[in-house]
Chains A and B, each alone.
Chain A
Amino acid sequence: MLFKKMLRDMKEHKMQFIAIFLMSFLTLLVFAGVGAEVAGVQQSVDSFYEDTNMADVWLYPNEINNQTIQKIMDIDTTDDMERQLVLPTTADIVDDPSVDLHFVENNTIAKYYPMDGNEFDINDEKGIWLDKRFAEANNLKVGDNIKLKFNGTSIEKTIRGLGYSPEYVYSQGDSLLPDFKMHGFGYLSYKAFIVDDVPYNTILIKTDDMDYQSKLDEKINYSTYLPFDDHTSVNQFQQELDQHNMIGNLLPIIFVAVALLTLLTTMTRIVNNQRTQIGTLKALGFSDRTLTLHYVSYGFYLTVVGCVLGLIIGELTIPSLFFPSMSAFYTLPSWKGGFDIKFVYISLIMIVLSTFFTYLATKNISKESPASTLMPKAPKFSGQGLFEKSKLWNKMGFNGRWNYRDIKRNKVRSLVTIVSIIGCTLLLITAFGMDEGMDDLKSWQYGGINHYDNQVILEDNVTSAQIDDITKKYDGTQFMNQQIEIKANGISQTSSLLSYNKSDLITPTDKNMNPIDLPEDGVSLTEKTSEILGVKKGDTIEWHLYGDDNWTSSKIDEIYADPATQGITIRPNKLEELGYNFTPNMILTNRDINSRVDGVSSVNNFGDLQNTWDNLTESANIMIGVLLLFATVLSIVMLYSLGVLAFTEAERDLATLKVVGFKTRNIRRLFLSQNLILSVIGFIIGIPIGYYVLRLLMDYSGSSFYYPIHYSIRVILIVFVIVIGLSIFVNLLFSRKIRDIDMVESLKKARD
């Protein structure tokens, strides 16, 4: 019977219970949904690495000969090793895309993962196994021939198969974002190389030894030691998953807080309302325990149902929401959701917490004697605070006084309103901030910093005469971009060394996107790298080029910011002074240039790059849309259900006001002003929290990206308009209720 009573009570307070249900539902929907995506993708990528026997270490020795091999094999913790020649080439097809070729010794470590066509054949001299996505983007099929140019020569091979590689889950190439048409990879047998003596440049190693590097240090010289976690593809993908994980863990906190507080207010209200009923049940002989259990079960059942549904629906729907945008950037053989036992734990915690909060609301049941429960509760005594004795109070109109006292007497309810609005503001700031950040990034990258039309990629064996020739003819700027490792404060970071002479084509900027001058005779570091390394202007960093194991110490003379490339910039003169050769691998120009020009490998047109960017950022809009939806649901559901609560509580007073002669308009204003005050408070608190969350999200977006985040008046204004707009909208829903207050009926009701 008590169960029936509960169901009917819930029906009576349906708005509040829908709100509680929705919030616990959303908590698990987001948590388990995003969690399922992360877990599933993690499992997919892990099994991909497992299946392909992914390397634990990439080693780039100065020289690879039989002795090197022997020395590595001598290390007792070397489980296995394999040599590769990794060779950047240009495909001889439209747009001259770049293709990294891997000539492999036996395809045992970081194996090629075939999808179509034949299995990889180590004895095939004429075949190539190509990047499936690159092939699809360029309309290449199994059986086609492809010609690849490098160092002035070229090879032509027949495509034997299409597939994936664990080293190319994320591959950016020369563009700002992955572009499968412009960049791909291919795997070939060492027998397919032009000469018999393959000049291997990479060693892939399998080892479980955490301390492998120090053992290696004693044996051989090498330029670069790249452990699994630092591999660009591995690292970028992991950071992406971390970012999702963070969203999935952070968003639910808002919903949990709102759900628990709503539960507390609603249950307090119900228990107060049903005082006499509780007294009656006690008089009938129901024990305090039974009654407490009865009321606690309200929160229990709701959260159980909410959590279970959220978990199931989240599992089923959310992962597939992410996959289209994920697969636009990343390449995995399969995309599927996964399950993690922690979803169940979180559900249990949620259920325990809500049961506890309901208990808090109902614990008074057992405190009072049955006889006193049968009588109406004595009105709450609220003394006058300092503010109510101040002069300002005397000047305040009735509206202000009424609302002040109402908020003061309903602290928890007001708190829930504020927390809901904080949540709503936070979501909106994140959504619009992300949107604006994307736009900023584009205009910063393609307008603020870079003003050239074409990026001319030079061949590896280009001569300096050819470079000078092109530079002169096309009025270009020579540009060098090399991979380096930077170290400071015990943290080391793979990043880029840029070198070019001051030019109109590139305008360095600070983190506020204002143009700055880089020192001619110094080393400049990007903002993002300085944050990661924990260094500032005047500090010293150490760095070395990949392929050269000599470390150089440099003082940081300037900090600049760049959205897409992180590392250091040194002017060519200074670079030579430090003992390095200035070897440009790109020429930037505003003139049109044909890629057939001698020494040119390919040409990237900036218009094309921008289009690619636009296409790819569209997928981020899904995320923004989801955030907006959550914000709206949160705000409307919570404001409405709390409004209903406030309205029923105040109905008698409002009726009295009506009897006294207040106009409906005045009463509406009374209601509206309270909502607006609370909304504004929530909005103000929500802004810094929102920006903090945005910052967190952006920090998790990968170490090569730098998103500028600044308080934008435009975003804050939009959010303000939406928050206040929603608040007014919800208030309009109450207009009718206020007009229809039945004075006689309301006044007859007993006061709670």
Chain B
Amino acid sequence: MSQLIKFKNVTKEYVTGENILKAADSLNFMIERGEFVVILGPSGSGKSTLLNLLGGLDKVTDGEIIVNNKIISQFNDNELTKYRAEEIGFIFQFYNLIPNLTALENIELINDIVETKIGGLSYLEQVDLLSHADNFPAELSGGEQQRVSIARALAKQPSMLLCDEPTGALDSETGYNIIKILLNLSKQENTTVIIVTHNIELSKLANKVIYLKNGRIDDMVINDNPKNIDEIEW
């Protein structure tokens, strides 16, 4: 396996009035290609900040983020936009589909930013939603919307999938199915998947688990033999 991501002393401060909040405080870690990584921690521990920095949605205050041998923490806005478009697939807790576009259109939206045009149907098939291609998000269940969101992320063929509480708004069975899809992607397609979650059970499935607390890494566990999804309590 080759190294994909490296965080070197990454710090992110938010200034509100006179208060300085360190949402990320000297983070150091590495992630290799194809890894299934789970980031755990209580609310406000800096999980989402970490994901946003990695995804190029926000900029570091200090330190370096290296992805694919490029120092993305030094990218300007245009480079970051290109980076997001080419390397990153985002999956959000609330799916964040464009409400005015159908399931298929939400996926083919990607065609506006990538160079090789894609057909949305094959990706919908991958998440088993072919029959719902022409439905608007409001006509889909939460699980179905999240599957569209995954299909949209996959359509870009990203180097990594960044998932912010992907099952947070779903019931357990639907959540199970979503995780299963993500796990399969990691195993079969060698896609790097990084999941931010509250759900400790997920850590049993991960190659690597990062525990965050107050913006710092509290613990990091490397799991050489992650459990199969059928083995864990859901």
Give the interface of A toward B (CB within 8 A): 1-2, 4-5, 8-9, 12, 276-277, 279-288, 290, 369-372, 374
Contact = CB atoms under 8 A, between A and B. Distances in A.
B109 A284 contact: yes
B59 A284 contact: no
A8 B88 contact: no
A283 B55 CA distance: 8
Contact of A285 (B52, B77, B81): B81
B171 interface: no
Nearest to B81: A287
Given A1-B112, A370-B57, A277 B85 contact: no
A394 to B, nearest CB: 31
Given A282-B84, A284-B84, A285-B84, A2 B58 contact: no
Contact of A374 (B57, B77, B85): B57
Contacts of B56: 370
B10 interface: no
Nearest to A378: B16
Given A5-B100, A287-B78, 14 more contacts: A1-B105, A4-B100, A279-B96, A280-B90, A282-B81, A283-B57, A284-B110, A284-B113, A285-B81, A285-B82, A285-B84, A285-B86, A286-B112, A371-B52
Given A284-B84, A285-B81, A369 B59 contact: yes
B111 A285 contact: no
Interface residues of B, number: 33
Nearest to B99: A277
A288 B100 contact: no
B147 interface: no
A290 B112 contact: yes
A1 B77 contact: no
B100 A12 contact: yes
Contacts of A276: 94, 96
B127 interface: no
A42 to B, nearest CB: 48
Contact of B90 (A9, A277, A283): A283
A516 B38 CA distance: 98
Contacts of A372: 58
Of the listed residues B81, B82, B97, B156, the one surrounded by the most CB atoms of chain A closer than 10 A to its CB is B81
Contacts of B96: 276-277, 279-280, 283, 374
B116 to A, nearest CB: 14
A8 B100 contact: yes
A5 B136 CA distance: 12
B98 interface: yes
Nearest to B86: A285
B58 A370 contact: yes
Nearest to B101: A5
A277 B98 contact: yes
A280 B92 contact: yes
B25 interface: no
B184 to A, nearest CB: 22
Interface in B103-117: 105, 108-113
Which 9 residue pairs spanning A and B have beta carbons closest together? Answer: A285-B85, A8-B100, A371-B58, A280-B96, A285-B84, A370-B57, A371-B57, A371-B52, A1-B109
A372 B52 CA distance: 10
Nearest to B90: A283
Contacts of A374: 57, 92, 96
A280 B77 CA distance: 16
Nearest to A287: B81
Contacts of A277: 96, 98-99
A288 B84 CA distance: 12
A369 B58 contact: yes
Given A369-B57, A374-B57, A5 B82 contact: no
Interface in B216-230: none
Contacts of B52: 370-371
Interface string B25-36: 000000000000
